Structure 1
Amino acid sequence: MALTSAATRTAARAAGRRPPRVRRRATRRRGSVTLTVLTGLVLIYALLPLAWLLINATKTQQGLFDSFGLALAEDFALFDNIADTLAYDDGIFLRWLLNTLLYVCVGAGGATLLAALAGYGLAKYDFRGRKAIFAVVIGAVAIPGTALAVPTFLMFSRLGLTNTPWAVVIPSLVSPFGLYLMWIFAADAVPDELIEAARVDGAGEFRTFFSVSAPLLAPGMVTVLLFNVVATWNNYFLPLIMLKNPDWYPLTIGLKTWSQQAGTAGGEAVFHLVITGSLLTIVPLIAAFLLLQRYWQSGLATGSVKE
């Protein structure tokens, strides 16, 4: 075998061609360089706005207009800007932050729990209509949320729930994509034999879920939770049409009102507060991803290796 390979390489050199192994290495090297360049471009595309936001949050109102966007100004005013942002308009930013946390904790947390319960039930219970429910879930995933915003507003208006936190919380409890993910995850993560053993020991269905199945579903639930947290935290269009009272605004709508105020002729220019508030807005999301990263990664890798 070795003689045959040596003869092949010798013949290739005599004919002026590269040996096959050398060609493969060269192709792999070119592919690696291309992948590195593309990864670098994606990294720049993702980090450049964050760098711009961080740099400009250190500038004063005047410094924003007197300096280049990606260059530091002479005065470092980050901490002053943070203090002004939290204190502006009687501390309304803190109220918006608490509202956003309320919508995320109740809406995203409830959506994750409901998706886990429904996905587990659809994966582990055999009943009529499962295929129809599957078709409905897939169809709901394909429908954008903005298409349902106006019908949702009309329904909540009839119920008298507009301009209340329930108008934002209740629609956030429905997560078709999260339900689909938990359905697929629970089908492989929870063995049927384990459920049968719990039933034989006398455990009820809810006790089986919370005591036996929930720990196995934790990685998938964390993944769904992260998706729901990001979607609820960045939710803009639904609160925009549902809420009129600034005391119930989330951060997305609140910062938009500051930006509109700064852009009007008679409004106070608070562009530095808008930028600083935007920086403070993304800090909790980054912290959530860093704290839950290992659970998220394990959830995505589950089932990729068979024993």
Structure 2
Amino acid sequence: MKWMSRATVNILLTVATLYTLLPLTWLLFASTKSLSDLYSTPGFAFADFNLIANIRAVSAENGGIFFRWYLNSVLYAGVGAAVSSFITIMCGYAFDKYQWLGKEKMFGLVLLGVLVPTTATALPLYLLASKVGVVNTFWAVFIPVLVHPFGVYLARVLSSGYVPGEVLEAARSDGAGEIRTFTRVALPMLMPAFVTIFLFQFTAIWNNFFLPLVMLNDQKLYPLSLGLFTWEKQGNAFPEFHSLVITGSLLSVVPLLVVFMSLQRFWKAGMTAGSVK
């Protein structure tokens, strides 16, 4: 009964997709409502369309600090993910293509880093940042996100699937040094891998909350996740902040959708690397 198995899989995938999209759907409906409609109408129903007014309210709150948080998140996540992905690709390429004493033991330490939750490292990172004197600065959040142990593991796997050793030997035979071999030969082949790791890291940094909470006191340095959290706390005393948080949350999803939609073909290629020999 092959068709029954296929139908069962399709039904399960459809249910999982709908369940995943449920919070985003509610957010879309809720962001179009006024504060009174938010509590007096069904969650998955439109009321008076107030999305533009809600966006204006978000923009006007505290001198437009929301878009300062937006810019901060773009810098933390965009620049941080790009630099982190490049470092990660170099590390994974080195682990895959070179041999040195203790390589596998060192790679084991990298895998150990994958098992450590980021919340467990936040306080030690704060103590280190305090010693260096970068607490409550841009660098206190930016530098830690450059380290991505899972990305190193993934880069090694993707390097073995994308970059044939014969091609590197041919480049070396033509007189190319190791740096030129990597930048001119291996790196173009690893671009799907780079994009795959970039998407993972971009999403992780964009949603990063605990590290900025520990490191930052200046609201002008907050990312969106922390800024919206401060608004949500104020909502206990001032209910109008609930509407601001909902609209701000909807706006914060837009960059993730844009990045994934624009880079999805590279991401799909990266996820299937090495599956066919």
| Aligned pair partner of 2:37 in 63, 78, 84 | 63
Q: 1:31 to 1:188 in 2, by over 3 A?
A: closer
| Aligned pair partner of 1:78 in 51, 60, 68 | 51
Paired with 2:164 and 2:23, the residues of 1 have a C-alpha distance of 45
Calculate the TM-score normalised by the size of structure 1: 0.87
Residue 272 (1) aligns with residue 243 (2): yes
Unaligned runs of 5+ in 1: 1-24
1:294 is matched with 265
Residue 48 (1) aligns with residue 19 (2): no
Structure with higher Rg: it is 1
Aligned residues: percent identity? 45
Letter in 1 for 2:124: P
1:253 is matched with 226
SS of equivalent to 1:72: coil
What is the 5 A alignment of 1:95-174? 95-174=68-147
Question: Looking at both structures, which has the greater relative contact order when contacts are Cα pairs under 8 Å and sequence separation is at least 6?
Answer: 2
Deviation digits for residues 93-147 of structure 1, max 9, x if unmatched? Answer: 1100111111112321111011001111111111111111111011111111111
Calculate the TM-score normalised by the size of structure 2: 0.97
Q: 1:268 to 1:69 in 2, by over 3 A?
A: closer
Q: Tell me how far 1:271 sits from its aligned partner.
A: 1.4
Tell me the C-alpha RMSD between the 2 structures.
Answer: 1.2
Aligned residues: 277
Unaligned runs of 5+ in 2: none
Paired with 1:176 and 1:55, the residues of 2 have a C-alpha distance of 38
Letter in 1 for 2:12: L
SS of equivalent to 1:270: helix
Letter in 1 for 2:45: A
* Contact map agreement 1:263 1:269 (CA 8 A) in 2: no
Residue 176 (1) aligns with residue 149 (2): yes
Letter in 1 for 2:223: P
1:8 is matched with none
Letter in 2 for 1:41: V
Deviation digits for residues 151-189 of structure 1, max 9, x if unmatched? Answer: 111111111111011111111000000000001111231
